[in-house]
Structure formats: C-alpha cells, structure tokens
Structure 1
Amino acid sequence: MKRDAGVVSLKERRMINKYILIIAFLWLSTKGLAQSDIPVGSWRTHNSYNSLVAISNSPSQIYAASSTALFTYNPVNQEVIAISSLSGLSDTDITTIGYNLDVDKLVIAYRNGNIDILQGNQIMNFTALLSADINGSKEINQIYNYQNLSYLSTDFGVMIIDLDNMQVKDTYFELGPQGQELIIYSAAITSDSLYLATEFGVMRGSLKDNLKDFNQWKFYGPADGLPNTVTKIILPTTTGLLAAIDNAGVFEYDGLSWQDKNSLGQALFNHGNQDGNSTLLTTADTVYQYSNGAAIPVNSAIAKQPKASLFAQNKTWIADGTNGLINTEEEMAIYPNGPFSGEIINLYNYQDKIIALPPAYDNSFQPLRSDKGFFKFEDGEWENFNSTGYPQTTSIPEFYDITGAAYSTNNETLYLSSFGYGILELNNQTANIIDENNSSLSNSNPPDRNVLVSAIDFDNGSLAALNFNSPQPLNLYNPVNDAWQAFSPSPPSANAVQILDVGNGVYWMRIANSFGGGIKIYDAINSREMYLTLGSGALPANEVYDMAIDREGKMWVATKKGVVFFYQPSFIFDSGPIDPVFPIFDGQILFKGEKITALAIDGGNRVWMGTSAGIWLFADDGQTEVLHFMAGFDPIPSNDILDLAINQANGEIFVATAGGLISYRGTSTAAGRLDDLKIFPNPVILNQNDIVTIEGVPENADLWITDSSGRLIYKTQANGNTAVWQGIAGNQSLSSGIYFVFIANADGSEKQVGKIALIN
C-alpha cells in the first residue's frame, strides 16, 4: 500500500533518527536476491524440453522443439539456448519446424495453423493460415523448404509461403481424386514436379501446371508399383524419390517407375530426412540409416521414443520423446533444465519448493502406469525424480502415478501418494514405500499394485490419506508412534480426490465430480459427518474443483458456478448449520455462475483464483481485485487453469495450465525472519529500474526509505513479508548515492535496516 512520501509523523521521525544512530556504529550489508529469484511483476516459463516432437538444423545450430517451446544447440561450443513464449513464441502445441537455408529462417508450426518465423533473435508471427476461413483442421504436418519458399503440408492441403516477402504465394486444397479435401503429410520437389505424400498415397503435379486444379495431379497406384494407401514420408534423393509407407516399407522412384525395396516392411514411420548424403528414416522405436534397400539401425540406448532425426556435423541427432536431443555418437541427452513432463495437473508447495505432478489416472479412474515421477523446483532449477534411470533424472524406487504430496516439518519428511503404489516416504535420502503390507491402506485388486491413494495432507502432526475405492477410505498415520488408523465415513467418501486436515480431528474431503461431487466432512474423533452439496450445503454447484484454507482459517471452495468460503471449518459440527459466504465484488456475487478451477493463498492472505478466463488475485475476502492475467494478453499459455501453488518465501505463483506451466512473481510473501532480508535489484540503475523488491521483512511491516541525510524519500507497507519501492525510474528527486531502508512491525518489537545503492 503506497502512502504519501512527504508527511512524516513525530513517532516516525524518532524511529528514523534512532536508526541513523545505529548506522553510525554498524557496518550494514545487504544481501542481493539470489539468481534463482525473478523480479517482482515478472514471469518465467517452466517448459519441458526432454519430450521432443521435431528437429531441424542450420549450418551452425541444431533446433529441437517440444510441444510448448524449443531450444538451440551449438555442437561446437555446446551452448544450449531455450526459446519460449517469453522469447516471443506466439502459441503452444508445436507440431513441426523447418529451417530454410536460402533465407536463414526457421519456420515454427503450431497445431492450430499458427506460424512463427525465427530469424536470428527475432520472432515474427505469421497468422495467414490461423486466420484463414477454412473449416476443419489446419494442422501443419511437415515443412518442406525449397529456395525461398516453404511448402506446408497440412490437413486440408498445401500452403506455400514466400519467406522473402512474408506472404502466402499459393494454396492448394481439395486435391482428392474427386476434388475432395485431402490430408497432406509431406512434400518434396524434384525434376520440376511437386510430390505429395497423402492419405490416398503419393501424388504428383508439374510446377508448370495449375496445381489448384485437382485434375492436374496424378495419383500413383499398384499399376505404378506403389500402394495407394496412407503415405506419410516422401523424400527427394540423389537418384529420384523415396516413399516410406506404414506396414509396407520403402519404395524408390527413378523417374519412370516405383520399386519395392523390400525394406522395413513392418515399420511405422514418424519422420524422414535427406541431406544429400545421408537418408534417415525414423520409426516408432528406431532410427535407420537407409541406402539402396539397406536399412542399418542407428544404435542408441537412450533413444526411447524417437520422433525425428537428421545428420549434421558428421553426427546423427535424434529428437526423442523422452530424453530430448540425442547425440548418438557420444550418447548424450541434451535439453535445457525443466520439468520431465509438460503435462502438469497438480502443484504443491513446501519449504520454498514446488512439486509438480503429471496425470496419474484417466477419466475412468484407471491408473496410467506412468513412470514420469515427480518434479521439484528449488533455487531456480528443476530436479526430476523417477525410477527410469534416464539421463538428467534422480533415481527413486519404482513408484508410478503420483497423485499428491505433503510435507512434515516435524520429521522433515516428504510424502508422495500414488494411484497404485501407496505412499512414498522420503527422508534424509532414504526412501520407504507404504502400502497394504505395512499400513492400514488396502489393495483394491491384488496381487497387482492397486493401492489407490488419491490425495494426502499433513497437518496437526499426522498424515491423512484417501484410499480410493476402499471401504475404509480415510487413513491416518502418526509418525511419532508409527501407528495407522483407518476410518469408514459413509459414501461417497471412497471417491474423494482431495483432503484437508482443518484441526480438531475434522477432515474436509472433496468428492470427484464424476461420483457426484460436493464435499464430505468427517469428524474422526466423534464419528460425525456432513455432506455439503448444492442442496444440503448451499454450495453454488455440486461440481467442486478445489479447496484452500486461508491464513485466517477460512475454507475457500471453488465450484463450477462460483466461489464461496466458510468460517471456522473445524467447528462446523459444533456451531449449528453454517451456510457458505458468497464474496461480494463491485456490488455483485463474485464469479456468480462462473467456473473456478483452482485456489491459492499468498502471504498477504490474498486469494488467487484460476478460472476459465485466466487467473485473478483478490484481497479483502474477494471484495478487491488486485490482478487479472489472461492468455492472449499476458504470458500464460492457456486460460484453462488446472492448479495453482505459491512459493511463500518469495511470492512466486506457479500456474499449471492446459498449455503448460508458468510462474509470476507477486508482491506478497509469508512472514520470515529478519535476517532473511533481501533487496533486489541492488545496486539500482536510475532510469532503468523502476521497482525494488524488499523481501524478508516482518509480516505487514512499515518501511521508510531515506537518503543519507535522513530525508524521507518513500514509505510503504509490506504485503506479507515483501514490500516494493515503485516509481524509481524518472524520479528527478533521486540521485546517485546510498539510501537506507528502515523496517518495523506494528508494535516496534521487530526492526531491521537495509541499504540500497542508486547509480546513474
């Protein structure tokens, strides 16, 4: 909260003078913010780079793309540079990329038809296809570069882009034998003809003809020696053409006829590449170097899901769906730091760390048997934990389909729940699996691993676990005496997917919406229970997506038709019927009728809400809007918000969306120790830096900033334990020098002093 900087009370003046006396005797040092932090008001992306979909190259760089971002790799100096939405990418869901050597531009294609053009450090968005009036899919399947043109093979036909003047040169559609729409998978040019691999086989058109007319095209068939079936790969070779057809193999064309080379007849092909010297064919499980009917496997123990390949710098490079960019000669897995999967649906924060989790079960609540593990963000880096043994991962016991996380400060233990394997206990580098053999948890379908734990929570000294589809769904663990206890609240408790321990032995359990939704509340001490729904609990809707407890103890509930909160959730059985409170914003019920998907509480007790229209930040119990971020206007990749979590130490909120994970540095953090004071940036460059972040102050403390003579320059109040000094750039009253920050809580019992260097 900004205040008038020109008025100082007598009490404040005495406090400042007292601090100035202290400065005379103390040497003050100010810790700069660690590089792992980002400035207040800024964003950072958290893309997964190990799951690649496409690859291309320039003379000096390898370009590798995941679905949400891409990176470059320089084989000479081994430099890796990530390129994300913050770099200028305009969309998500990349399908393919292609580098045009004649104009030195990389074409980046998205599933919806959007296109970015990367040249040097500049990215230009090309929306001609995205905005075209075309019914049906606009997905771009392959990019074939010829001279200054890019031929885009799409689900509706071919679009040709002139990369010199950045215009559409031509578009061919409805190319089927009867003029119907036709899916084009790839293209190649040789001998003044354009060849297309399509859902009906291979077709040819002379570049001298009007190729908009479907009658000008020739389809090859059995009479020509080629199957007229789905063909996805067509490549120019030194002797003619090559077509690779699923479950049929490789065929070559010499300009007169097609020959079956009797090679790779059972293969399913993902990609083909020909650079004039080497032909590479990428199948579902192997990359082959092909020459005149002979297909030699490219050996790589770490290539698990090859998606595409190329030959450059005298080496074979593989874009792998699991281990990133693979240098097959050195068996190196190359990719920037990031979570092991781009599909993140659950987030959890503890001890200044963020845990991110991929999906664990399908819409029918069947385990996915996913070995991706869990991903931890700490000090600006991701560490990925799983049992795969893959490069750039940290090993844990086999533990699939992780659904949740909880942390105990009492024994410094991280607990992880699994939809099949039970609970994993991690403490001091030791790991212990808790299942039906050593706890009250049950296996719903032995002997397979079906200890289905849908959610956990650690609070009030015990671990609460939801055993899905069990007759005793609520299980409590006391780590002090290593004792388990199981409870049997009535249906639909066995179908709960979130649990919060609110104290007094009371547990709030969110029921899966496909099983009726609502909230089941259970008193484990007195065996009392309550079921909140649209009818019996005055919820806005039965479909509940999230619950969160704020710093005043209120329970917030996100539903399909709005958000509400409950006072004193642990006393709900003792205070009679309690209806939820509907927050009022601008004279109306907040988000009435709107879908709220996620909740998070920051250090200033403000509520972040994920909706179908982005994320919102509200203060004062929802009465004051602070921020709103929306895809298309802000860096968040999608308005479909899946989960939220906040690093309470620095106020950074992590946002899991359908388009990927991103985070934003807010201004409010949880209360910390005075010796944790951090000031960033420091020094401050005048006319460049407009905001200084002061972190680690007492909760909601007052701050005064003065020059070296004691003249008050600025005063403000912290939000949680973070404050900001705004409006520095362009402030003509500021000059180079040392400025002092005086900090005190409301009763003056906690004080601290810092200093900031301002430089012209």
Structure 2
Amino acid sequence: MKLRIRYVFSFLLVIFALSAQSQIKIGEWREHLPYQKAKSLLTGGENLYCLTESGLFSYSLSDNEIAAYSKTKGLSESEISAIALVESSQSLLIGYESGNLDVISDGNIHNISAIKNFNLVENKSINSMTANGNFVYLGTDFGIVVINLDKMEVADTYFIGAGGEKLVVNDIKINSSAIWAATDQGIFKADLSSGNLADFNNWEQEQGISEYQRKCEHLQFIDGDVIVSRFVSETASELYRYRNGSWSNFFGSLDRIYSIRNINNSLWVIQAGKIRIFNSNGIENEVLEYSGITEMHDALVVDGRTFAADYQKSLQEIIGSRANQIKPDGPLSRNISNIFSAAEQTWAVDGGVTASYDGSGEKAELFLFENQEWTNYSKENTPSFSNKSDLLRLTNNKRDRSLIYAASWGDGIFVFKDNEYQVNWNFENSPLGTKGISGMDSDSDGNLWILDANSSAPVKILSPVGEWTSLSYSTLANRADMQKIVCLKNGDKWVLNSPEQALFAFYENGTLSNTDDDALASFFVRDENNSSIGSKVYDLIEDEKGDVWLGTSSGVAVYMNPGNIFRTGNFFAYQPIITIDGSTQFLLGTESVNAIALNGADQKWLGTANSGVFLISENGDEQLVHFTNENSPLPSNTIQRISVNPGTGEVFFVTDKGMVSYKGAVTAGTESYNNLYVYPNPVRETYHGDVVVSGLIAESTVKITDISGNLVMEGKSGGGQFIWDGKNFNGSRVHTGVYLIFCSNSDGSKSKVIKLLFIH
C-alpha cells in the first residue's frame, strides 16, 4: 500500500510541476502568487505539501521538484483553508474558505460543492480535515461534515453544540474510542459507539478544564493521552492533557502556539521562534531555535530531515544551524497596487494609502517579471529600500525605455536603468515634497511628469538631463487625492483625481517657466445632452488613435477628440453601444469599470468591480471575450488593475485575491522584421495547437505557401502576431513539408520570408 501511495502522489506532482515550468501558450493562464506566508505542512509518499496564505505547493523529497497548485492547474478556487492526505484512498484533499472541497485522486480532480451550496448564513470555511478509513471528517465554521470518499459525497453533518448549536470547529482527532473536536467554545467529544453522531445529545463538552468554554485550536494524541492547545491571546497559549478520565495543565503559560505535533512519540510544540519538545509527562526535553526563522507556524521531520513553515520566509529546510528556503517563483506580495508593462517586462508594486491619505506602511518592494521568472527588489538586495515604504506608481521613460520609475508615498521616486537601481529622488535632492507621489507619466521627449501630493506646486517635471521644473495650478494645489496623469500624443496632460472629483487637463504651451499662457480645463464627464456619465471615474487611458477612454461607475466613456477640451463650445464624451444576445446597450453601462488596458491591436481589456474582465473590439462595439471566476482561473471577479505585456501578449489581471495572467493572441507591432520568427518550428505530428508568427509590423499581410508556391493560407496581423491553426483554406491539416511565410507591411515597403517545417 505504501508503494502505491508514493507512486500516485509523485504522479500528481509531475502533472503540476510540468505545467508550472513550461512557457504558457496562447489561451493559457498562470498564477503570480507569493508563497512566503507558510502556515501548515503535511507529507505523502515522497512529497511534502506546504499551505501558505496565498496557495499550496509541493516539494519532492527525492528530486527537489517544486510544484504549485492553483486554479490555473484545475483547482476549483484560490482561497485554500485546509489540506489533508488520505492513505486509504490515495487522495489529496483541498478545502476552501467557501466550504468547497477538491479531491485529487488517480490524477483526477473531483469537486464536492455540497458544503459551499449549503443554505447557511454562517461562514462555511473548512478549517481541518481528519481521515478515518475512507471517511473524512471536516471541521468547519459551523460544525462537522463527514465525506464519503467512495461515493464522493457528503455522508453526514454534525451540529455539536448544546441544543444543536452551530460551532466553529478548528481541529478534529479520532482515536479508537472517540472523536474529539477543538472548537471556539472548548473541547467536545463523542463516543464512536454512541450511534447517531448527528444527534447533538451524543456529544459532550469537556468541562474538566478551567474556563472550559474558551477557544481551543489544536488536538494531538501521545501515549494514549489527549493534548489540547488553547488560545489565550494573540501572544499566549496554554496546553492541557487528558489522561485517565481527567484534565490537567500540561505545562505552564506559553507563548502563542501555532501547531502541535506527535513526532517520534514526543510532543512538538511549534511557536513563532522555537520548537519546544516534551515527553508525554510534560517534561521539556529540548528547545530548538533557528537563526532567521522568527514566525514558524508548523514543523515536520521526514526521514530525518526537518522542515519548518515560516510565515515570513515560506518553507524552510533546517540543516544544522542554517535554513534553506524552498518555494515556487512569484512576487513577494499578492496585494498588488500597481502594474506596468513595457517591451517584454512587467513591473509591479504593493504599496498603499489609507482613506485619510496616509501611507499604509507596506515596506518598499518592487517586482519584475521577465523571461518567465520574477525578480524581487527589497531592502535585502536594494539597500536604498531600507526604511522606505509604499511604492505606488510605475512608469518608464518613453525616450529611453530602459529607465523605470517607481514612485512612493512619502519617499520620493526610485529610478532603475537596465534593471539596476540608480537613484532615489526625494525632498532632500529635488523639489519633491514629503507627502507622496500621486501619479507620473513620461512624454515622447522623455520628460517625466509627476503629481506631487499636498504641494503648492503640484506638477513637477524631470527632464532627460536631470533638470527639474515646478508648475503651480490652483486646481491641483495642496491636494492629496490626485490619482493619475496621462501625457497624450498631442501634448496635452490629463489628470484623474479621486473618483468623484472633476478631471483636470492642461497644456503648457511649450513654456514650462510660464504658466500664465497655459490652457487649463476642469470638467466632469458628460454626454452630448449634458448628462453625467457615471458619478465616479476610476481609470483613464489613451488608445492608439488618440481617443481617451475612461472607466466609470456606469461603464465606459470615450472622448474622440480630446484636443477640443480647450476650445469653446460643447465638449462631450460618448458611451460605446454594443449588441449582446440581441440586446443593444451601453458598453458595460451597469458596471463599474476599474481598469482599462490596450493590446497590440488597440483592443480594450476592461476590468470591472463585480463581473470579471472583458475584451472588446477596437471601437468598443463588439465583445470578444468575457472571463469570470466561474469560467476561468480568475481568483475573483473584482478586477483592480490590468496590464498587457506588449512584447509577449501576456495580459496580467490584478484582483483583490491575487494576480494571474492570460496569454493573449495579440502583441504590439514592431518597426521592422528584424526579429521575425515562427513557433513551434518544426511543427511535430503530435502538435495540434496554433502556429504563431511573431515579430510582425502591425497590420502585416501574411501569406503561407508550400515549397511549390501554392497558397495555403493568408491574412492580416492585428498587432505583432499572426495566428495559424495549421490548416488550409478547406479546413484540412496541411501535408508534411517545408512552408514559406511571406510577410509585408501595409504599403509593401518592408517584407521578409521565413521557413517552417510542418509534419503532418
């Protein structure tokens, strides 16, 4: 039996590991989650499983392979609350905060949604899972649920409180005679021989502990005794022992206990900075402390190797006096506040601002995704981030795209060139104030335009040669609620303030030192009938045609001629009209649109507050895609930010529950065919996906012929890619041979031919 278990769980690991390592294809997804905050561990076969605040991953003890488990790999949800391994059925169980349950067995994922669908007002989170034969007992926020793994269904539900009261059950343990439950109201027990455990009368509350109704968190058996850890405060716990029918204090007052384990018939008590090891009589035999591990939440010993789950540093293998970190690749935070993409890079930050416009205190960290992996900048590798906080805004220099700017709330702007830190502009070495940077954008000349919060000169400009200019506009002066500045192609600058406030636009007229001749406008978003379009504005972006798109509380508003803002007469926005299922309506007119991003074909990705994300056509009159957390790996329908990587076509979605990305079919067009290529090449007989021609000039004509010159397919690229399904005009897969791909720009002035080997 043990050999079979080891084989099955190793097989599961391979499934997840392979998909995690490979570059994603068009139409595929991947998650971008942090795995620092490790909470619990378990072992199965040759694998160690680590549950973190953001997700689950496994570590192969034989070959050191790391694999992440997520919605992109087939799981039902993203908010995992408990995990368990069931030896009898060779199953990995994954429980969720919603009450949903996934059972992974024989390489398949089975979902049991009955708890999630229970008609209960109470929370349904699965807090713990304990197997007894082929039945699994789930400790939930309302009681105990029994799962029959043979039938993959709920077998029973126990409401164990007095009178059938619903109780939060934190842990369950089963011995030969009884089932024990640690709840928010103490310890409850039922004899297995008592018959109907769904009858609350068969459950007893253990009253032999002083203040017996206090919250208990963990249970463990050792030498026939029952050990309980009881919550006292966020910093303190107590241990009690049940022996020969009576309770006693197992040990004096202790620092907060995060887990208790029976390891080699010793009681391991896991605390933040140490492991205390007791024998069954409460004698402390050893205290283990490890340098650098300060927030330990769990620990295990597997084949003589010691592992710890640290809430700051993820899974750690302890070797002598040192610890090695083990975790999947990812950014350091899932609370991404801003994201920016350029070339083939995507940058992200996680700072925050409170409702009163004070910094949230998030330590300064910057995350870069490039070449399929994350590079994290923190005080450990970027000393200038020490004692700095709340990076909030990101942009690059449009003239020198190797320059990246990361702006903070209170600590100025950090400049990186070619991924290396250069300088921190702040109140000590520049005109920047001390409050924070509300927004920034670069114009085509390489000037960085900055919104300086709570300043009498709220607009600052940093020239490419390092010269500073300050502009005073009374409308923006001394404001902390500015959100975003966008430099338009026509030279105008638009400023988005707090969602319910007016927008502001200005044109400096080429005289930075003189604001008297500037054109200024402050305005709310209205249509041609002077009716408001949405009471709030959340995002502002300029598309490739020069139109300005706004995400509002009532869908989308578009200014087709933004340069008219400074002219006399009517200046109004319009709402795109779209037909869906025969119904003509304003584009997302009933949705709050939080985020807008463009792909290489000028199509718009629209992120909403409650309904996921939409891809619409260039003009907004056709819905192309609609992703939700029900039909895609999106962890949530609340979309906060979107960024499209122009070089790869990968679309990053920031939600309130973490970040995922989707490989779109469109990349940005290039200026030449110097980097033209096709993949996969060769196309093997076993491959039945899309063939991608990449590195194209936008709107290229692409013709594919066989070696004799017979045309098998032709079309136009939307951006920098052309997608071919490997079939001819008749819909049949083309024959084995060498194919020529002819590419030319719209006026025929540039062209190139590349070859493709196709195996039928």
TM-score (norm 1): 0.88
What is the aligned partner in structure 1 of residue 9 from structure 2? none
Q: Within the alignment, does 1:469 sit opposite 2:454 as a pair? A: yes
Q: Among residues 374, 377, 385, which one is paired with 1:397 in the alignment?
A: 385
Work out which of the residue numbers 417, 420, 424 in structure 1 matches 2:414: 424
**Aligned residue type for 2:422:** A
How far apart are residue 302 of structure 1 and its match? 3.5
Q: What's the secondary structure of 1:621's corresponding residue?
A: coil
Instruction: Say yes or no: does 1:169 pair with 2:158.
Output: no
The alpha carbon displacement at 1:487 in A equals 2.5
Q: Which residue of 1 aligns with 2:243?
A: 254
| Distance in 1, Cα, partners of 2:269 & 2:290 | 15
Q: Give the distance between the partners of 1:162 and 1:509, measured in 2 at CA.
A: 59
Q: Does the Cα contact within 8 Å between 1:302 and 1:333 map onto a contact in 2?
A: no
| Cα deviation 1:241-264 (Å, max 9, x = unaligned) | 11111234111121322221334x
Alpha-carbon contact 1:55-1:98 (below 8 Å) kept: no
Match of 2:438 among 439, 450, 454: 454
Select 2:588's aligned residue among 591, 603, 607. Answer: 591
Is residue 226–residue 258 contact of structure 1 (8 Å, CA) maintained in 2? Answer: no
- The equivalent residue for 2:361 is 369
Q: Is the 8 A contact 2:414 2:421 kept in 1?
A: no
Alignment of 1:325-724 (within 5 A): 325-329=315-319, 330-371=322-363, 373-387=365-379, 389=380, 397-398=385-386, 399-411=388-400, 412-427=402-417, 429-443=420-434, 451-460=435-444, 461-490=446-475, 493-502=479-488, 506-513=492-499, 516-524=500-508, 525=515, 526-534=517-525, 539-574=532-567, 576-586=569-579, 587-611=584-608, 612-672=610-670, 673-686=672-685, 688-724=687-723
CA distance in 2, matches of 1:185, 1:683: 55
Residue 310 of structure 2, aligned match among 320, 329, 353: 320
Give the Å deviation of 1:484: 3.6
Deviation at 1:297, TM superposition (A): 4.4
Local SS of the residue matching 1:134: coil
Q: Distance in 2 between matches of 1:439 and 1:334?
A: 42
The equivalences for 1:724-743 within 5 A come to 724-726=723-725, 728=727, 731-732=731-732, 734-743=734-743
Q: CA deviation at 1:204?
A: 1.6
Pair 1:136-2:122 in alignment = yes
Shift of 1:600: 0.6
Candidates 189, 212, 218, aligned match of 2:174: 189
After TM superposition, give the deviation of residue 519 of structure 1 in Å.
1.9
Alpha-carbon shift at residue 555 of structure 1 (Å)? 0.9
Is 1:90 aligned with 2:89?
A: no
- 8 Å contact kept, 1:668–1:721: yes
Between stretches 164-173 and 597-606, larger displacement belongs to 164-173
Give the 3-state SS of the residue equivalent to 1:145 in structure 2: strand
1:297-308 correspondence to structure 2 within 5 Å? 297-308=287-298
What CA distance in whole angstroms lies between the structure 2 residues aligned with 1:295 and 1:520?
69
Question: Structure 1 residue 267 and structure 2 residue 255: aligned?
Answer: yes
CA shift, 1:133, in A, is 2.3
Give the drift of 1:195.
1.3
- CA distance in structure 2 between the aligned counterparts of 1:36 and 1:347, rounded to whole angstroms: 23
Shift of 1:191: 4.3
Q: 1:142-291 counterparts in 2 under 5 A?
A: 142-173=128-159, 175-209=160-194, 210-221=196-207, 223-224=208-209, 227-247=212-232, 248-263=237-252, 265-284=253-272, 286-291=274-279
Instruction: Name the CA distance, whole Å, in 1 between partners of 2:487 and 2:665.
Output: 28
SS in 1 for 2:385: coil
CA RMSD for the aligned pairs? Answer: 2.5
For 1:541, the aligned partner's letter is G
Deviation at 1:198, TM superposition (A): 1.2
Per-residue CA deviation, residues 459-513 of structure 1 (Å, 9 max, x unaligned), is 2321122223333332222231422424333258541111112256632121223
**Cα offset for 1:690?**
3.7
Q: In the aligned structure 2, how far is the partner of 1:610 from the partner of 1:371?
A: 27
- For the 8 Å contact 1:285–1:304, the answer to whether it is kept is yes
What amino acid does structure 2 have at the position aligned with 1:748? G
Corresponding residue for 1:4? none
Give SS of 2:49's match: strand
Say which SS state the counterpart of residue 61 (structure 2) adopts.
coil
Letter in 2 for 1:705: I
Note the C-alpha offset of 1:105.
1.4
Deviation string for 1:619-651 (max 9, x for gaps)?
241012222222211222221111111111122
When the two structures are superposed, what TM-score results if normalisation uses the length of structure 2?
0.88
Encode CA deviations 1:270-320: one digit per residue, 9 max, x unaligned: 333334534333335544444324285432334343333322222332222
In the other structure, the counterpart of 2:15 is none
Tell me the residue number matched to 1:61: 47
Residue deviations 1:71-120 (CA, integer Å, cap 9, x gap)? 21112321112222222111011111111233321111100000111235
Q: In structure 1, what is the Cα distance between the partners aligned to 2:360 and 2:277?
A: 34
Helix, strand or coil at the partner of 2:162 = coil
Following the alignment from structure 1 to structure 2, what is the Cα–Cα distance between the partners of residues 509 and 401? Answer: 21
Sequence identity (%)? 26
Question: 2:464 corresponds to which letter in structure 1?
Answer: P
Contact 1:477 1:485 in 2 (8 A): no
Deviation digits for residues 40-73 of structure 1 (CA, Å, limit 9, x no counterpart): 2222222322333332111311011234432211
Cα distance in 2, alignment partners of residues 416 and 572 from structure 1: 30
- Point out where structure 1 has 5 or more consecutive residues left out of the alignment: 1-34, 444-450
Report the AA paired with residue 572 of structure 2: D
* Amino acid across the alignment from 1:741: I
Structure 1 residues 87 and 481: alpha-carbon distance in aligned structure 2, compared to 1, 3 A threshold: closer
Structure 2, unmatched stretches of 5+, are: 1-20, 509-514
Would the aligned equivalents of 2:449 and 2:459 in 1 still touch at CA under 8 Å?
Answer: yes
Cα distance 1:707–1:535, how it changes in 2: closer, same or farther (>3 A)? closer
8 Å CA contact 1:190–1:240 kept in 2: the answer is: no
Q: CA deviation at 1:711?
A: 0.3
| One of 24, 44, 51 as aligned partner of 1:38 | 24
The answer to whether the 8 Å contact 1:43/1:664 transfers is yes
Question: CA offsets, 1:420-450, max 9 Å, x none?
Answer: 212111235343222111122222xxxxxxx
State how far apart, in whole Å, the 2-side matches of 1:147 and 1:275 are. 22
Question: Could you tell me whether the CA contact under 8 Å between 1:691 and 1:728 is conserved in 2?
Answer: no
User: How far apart are the structure 2 equivalents of 1:534 and 1:408?
Assistant: 29
Contact 2:94 2:101 in 1 (8 A): yes
Counterpart Cα distance in 2 of 1:238 and 1:123 = 37
The 3 A distance-change label for structure 1 pair 578 and 649 is same
Q: Distance in 2 between matches of 1:372 and 1:148?
A: 48
Q: Secondary structure at the match of 1:215?
A: helix
Counterpart contact for 1:383–1:394, Cα < 8 Å: no
Distance 1:658 1:733, change over 3 A: closer
Match of 2:66 in 1: 80
One-letter identity of the residue aligned with 1:376: L
Which letter does structure 1 place at the counterpart of 2:650? E
Contact 2:37 2:54 in 1 (8 A): no
2:290 and 2:257 map into 1 onto residues whose CA distance is 18
CA contact (8 A) 2:397 2:403 kept: yes
* Residue identity matched to 1:273: R
